[in-house]
Structure formats: C-alpha cells, structure tokens
A and B are shown apart, each in its own frame.
Chain A
Amino acid sequence: MANASAKPPAWLGLFDAARGLLVWAGGLAVLFGAWQAVLSFGLMPPELLPPIGDVLATAADLASRPDFQRHVGVTVAEVMVAFVIAVPLGIVLGIAIAESRYWSEVLKPIVFLVFSIPKTIFLPMFILAFGINFAQKVGFGVFSTIFIVLISAFSALDSVKSDHVRVARAYGATPAQIAWRVYLPSMAPVLLEAVRLAMIFNLTGILLAEMYASRAGLGQLIANWGENFMLRELLAGILLIAAAAIVFNETVRWFEAKCEHWRT
C-alpha cells in the first residue's frame, strides 16, 4: 500500500535559487550598509573610504579601459597556463602516489606538511630563477596550486569504494574499464571540487606574485593603487576581482551539485 513518495514540485528548485540570490543580496546590503554607515558617521574620511557610488562608477570605468583590460588579460593568461599545467600534473601524480600503499604512507605526510608552509617565502627563489616575468609567475602559480590538487586527488581516490571495484572485477571488467566506468564517476565529484579549490589557490598565488614583484597584471595594479593611496581604484579593483572570483566559484559549485547525488 505504501507508494513511493511523489516528486517534489518543480517550483521548489526555483524557490531555492531565488532564496540563494536573496541571501547574496542580503549580504551585499549589509556590506554597503556598513560602508555607508562608516561614511555617514564620519568614522573614516572619504579619502580613505570613498563613497559607494564613486567606487562603482570607477569600477565601470576601469572595466571599459583598454589598459586595464590588458592587465586583466595578463593575469588571466598566467592563471590559465598555471592551471593547465598544475591540475593534470597534480591529478596524475596524486593518483599515482595514492594508488601505492607504500608511497602513500611515505609521501602523503610530506605533501601535507609542505602544504602548510606559506608558499610566499619561496617567491624570492622564483624571482632569482626566472627573473620578474610571465614564466616566474606561472611557475609560482603552479607551485601554489599543485599541492591542493595532490591532496584532492588523494581524497578522490579514497572515495572510490573498494566494493564497487570488486563488483566490477567479479564481472570481468578490464583495468581500463574499471578506470573509466568505476573510478572516474566515483572520483568525479571530488575532482570537480579539486578544480574549484585549485582555481582559488592558483588565483591567490598569481595575484600574490604580481603584488610582490611584477611589471603587469591585476595584482601589480592593486599594489600600485594601494601605495599611491588611489582608494577609489583600489576598492573598485577589489570589488571587481571579488565579484569575478565569486561568480566563477558559484558556477562550478552549481555544477558540482549536479554530481552530488552519488557522492560517497
């Protein structure tokens, strides 16, 4: 007599999305509200905290300027190249290490330990090795990213249930089939998250390298504006970068949620 529960109504999904947007709108409201309050109560002079309107106008202006766009291009290029190198390398290496019981035990603690060392301190090394240029920043980006990819790969491999593999083998699957039909789908959610985290670490690393020593790129602009007390541009830059990062992140997360239902 018990029947399977009916599917929840379609408008529920829209409702969730609307609620998500509402939360973000709320967050923005709080931010701008506090911003305005600080100005109105005179807690900070407008030289240090320009009015919201000014900053937004500057942001719009910046986005349209070709020299700004050139810097953006430089940063994006560095991020992309570093990403394309670090992620596949990290995944392959991570799986290779995690596959072997012995090497897992030897190398995993090292990876975790190095991960917790502030990579910034190695920036001088990269500068000494490459000079101050594109390659140096990409190199540092790869260095910043590869550890989180390794760690995520470890976790991805762990998430494959040995039971699933055993079933496949019992039905005569070849190693290639097992890799493609069991491992890959099992690891997909974690690897997707790895991509997302990799991007975060990558962007942070590259911007950091640009802020530290660079001739071009968003990070260099930010550092420059800060040094010269160009607060309007600085805040505009921060807002633009933050918005881009959040949008990218949320998009990947939405995608992850699609794969979520079989995540172990």
Chain B
Amino acid sequence: MTLAVSTPAPRRLYVEPRTLRWILGLILLALWELLPRAGFIPSLFLPPLTETVGALLANAGDYVRHLLISLRAIGISMLFACGLGIGVGLLAGSIAPLRRVMLPLASGLYAVPLVILYPLFTAWFGIGPESKIAFASIYGLLPCFLGTMAGVQTIDRQYLVVARSMRATRWQMISRVLLPAAIPTVLSSLRVGGALVIVGVVVAEMLTSAEGIGYLITRYRTMLDSPRVFAGILVVVALVFAFDGLVRLIEYRTRNWRLSMRSGEPRN
C-alpha cells in the first residue's frame, strides 16, 4: 500500500473571519457614502453616509432627548418583562403540573402577532409612555418566560438527587441548588427579553406615539427628511449594538461559571 504524499497546496490568502467582517462593514459604509453621491441610488431613498451623520450631529440634542425617553421606557419594560418572565418561568419550570398547563398555552400564544394589541393599549392608555410600556412588557415577557421554563428543564436532575442524598430540605434545594444552576438560563433569558423589549418600544413609538426615537423616525419620514430618518435609524442600531455589547460583557464575566455548566462533559 503506497502512502499518498500530498504536495503542499499553493498558499492562498487567508483572512481571519473577524477581520473579514470588519472589512465587509467598511465596504458597506463606503458604498453607503459613494453610491448615493454617484447617483446610483436616489438620495431620497438612501442619503450619503456623511449627510446622515451630519444630520445626526446637527440635531444631537433632539436625538439624545428622545433616546433618553425611549431608554426610560425600555428600562421599565425590561423590569416587567424579564422580572415576571424569569420569576414565573423559574416557578413554572420547577413545578411539573404548573409547567404542563402553562407550556402549551405560552407556546401557543407565541404564535399570535402581538403588534395587533398595540392599538388596544393606545385606545386604553393614550399615546403616552404607559401604552408603550404595557406593550413592550408583554412583547418581551412571553419569550423570556418560555426560555426560562425551557432552561430550567436543562438543569441536570442529578443535582437535585445529590442534594436529596444529603437530606437537603425543600427550601435548601431551591435556594442552594436550583437557583445557582438556573443562572445561565436566566442570563440568556435576559438577553432575549431585553432585545425584544427594545423592539417593542421602538415599534410602539413608530406606530403611534408622541415621543421617543421611533416617533422621531416616523416624523421625519412624513417630512421626507431622509438624512434625519437615517440618523434615527443609526441611533437605534447603535442602541442594539450597545445592548449586545453589554450582554457580551456579562457573558464574559460569568464565563468561568458557565463553562462548567455544560453538564456531563468529562474533561479527560
């Protein structure tokens, strides 16, 4: 049997994925600037990048003010959505009969396009922050709840058996075993819930609202002020990036904990 000897392949240019992403991003930004200026894309549809940034800086005060309003709504909604979602999720996840009832209901409700509830809230609460918060809270609540409930299921049942073999009381099993074991799930639910709350608030503001970054975008659209519209879009994208970065930071800080969470991975 001959051993096939492979000749080394000619060296191809290998770009690190991360670098390529950055390059793609830069190309995108460059195109954003050049294509509208060169006339390939109507400026009404996509104003050049510099114009957009210029509009953003020129009206910075406005954008910041409305952004803060949105942030406030986001914060409050997150408290409701994640607090309730995770709390009830942990509870339902650990009590089997409760889970058997709530799981089918919650996953069924997930199919409903919740946006249709927003006009109801504006009819009830007016176009102020209350309807926004009510809507965004519900929007983020369901996935948070479902995620937590599912996550509790992934907790290694053996942890509880071990605790029982040490004669732990019910309270000790919940506080000393279940809760610490549930932290990775809670973190991932926070991430999902938070992202969706942001979506909920922005959607609500764009539909019917008196203030907030979404409202700003809509207002400028009706005025056909494209640079300002896109400046608003940039602000929202930056917000999402910031939230994502925050979550990544938390994940980084807790990686030690979560690394060992992958149950049953022998380390030989």
Assess A/B contact in the complex (Cβ within 8 A): yes
- Among candidates A48, A117, A200, A222, residue contacting B111 with C-beta atoms closer than 8 Å: A200
- Interface range on chain B: under 10, 10 to 19, 20 to 34, or 35 or more? 35 or more
List of B residues within 8 angstroms of A20 by Cβ: 104
Task: Report if A203 contacts B (CB, 8 A).
Answer: yes
Which of B24, B44, B45, B226 gathers most chain A CB within 10 Å? Answer: B45
Contact A128 B226 (CB under 8 A): yes
A68 to chain B, nearest CB (A): 15
- Among candidates B46, B116, B226, B232, residue contacting A241 with C-beta atoms closer than 8 Å: B116
- Among candidates A117, A227, A237, A250, residue contacting B116 with C-beta atoms closer than 8 Å: A237
Tally of A interface residues using CB under 8 Å: 54
Contact B119 A248 (CB under 8 A): no
Contact B123 A48 (CB under 8 A): yes
> How long is the Cα–Cα vector from A138 to B227 in the complex, in angstroms?
25
> How long is the Cα–Cα vector from A44 to B122 in the complex, in angstroms?
14
List of B residues within 8 angstroms of A180 by Cβ: none
Task: Report if B105 contacts A (CB, 8 A).
Answer: yes
- Among candidates A102, A110, A122, A241, residue contacting B113 with C-beta atoms closer than 8 Å: A241
Majority-rule SS of A interface residues:
helix
A242 to chain B, nearest CB (A): 4
Contact A226 B21 (CB under 8 A): no
List of B residues within 8 angstroms of A27 by Cβ: 105
Contact B229 A124 (CB under 8 A): yes
A19 to chain B, nearest CB (A): 8
Task: For A104, give the chain B residue with the smallest CB separation.
Answer: B17
Per-residue CB contact flags for chain B residues 107-140 toward chain A (1 = under 8 Å, else 0) read 1111111111111101110000000000000000
Contact A211 B115 (CB under 8 A): yes
Chain B binder among A58-66, A150-158, A228-236: A228-236
Task: Report if A11 contacts B (CB, 8 A).
Answer: no
Task: Report if A12 contacts B (CB, 8 A).
Answer: no
> How long is the Cα–Cα vector from A105 to B14 in the complex, in angstroms?
13
Task: For B240, give the chain A residue with the smallest CB separation.
Answer: A117
List of B residues within 8 angstroms of A225 by Cβ: 119
Contact A226 B123 (CB under 8 A): yes
Contact B203 A200 (CB under 8 A): no
Task: Report if B199 contacts A (CB, 8 A).
Answer: yes
* A-to-B contact residues, CB < 8 Å: 20, 23-24, 26-27, 44, 48, 102, 105-106, 109-110, 113, 116-118, 120-125, 127-129, 196, 199-200, 203-204, 207-208, 211-212, 219, 222-223, 225-227, 229, 231, 234-235, 237-238, 241-242, 245-246, 248-250, 253
* B-to-A contact residues, CB < 8 Å: 17, 20-21, 24, 44-46, 100-101, 104-105, 107-120, 122-124, 195, 198-199, 202-203, 206-208, 214, 217-218, 221, 226, 229, 232-233, 236-237, 240-241, 244
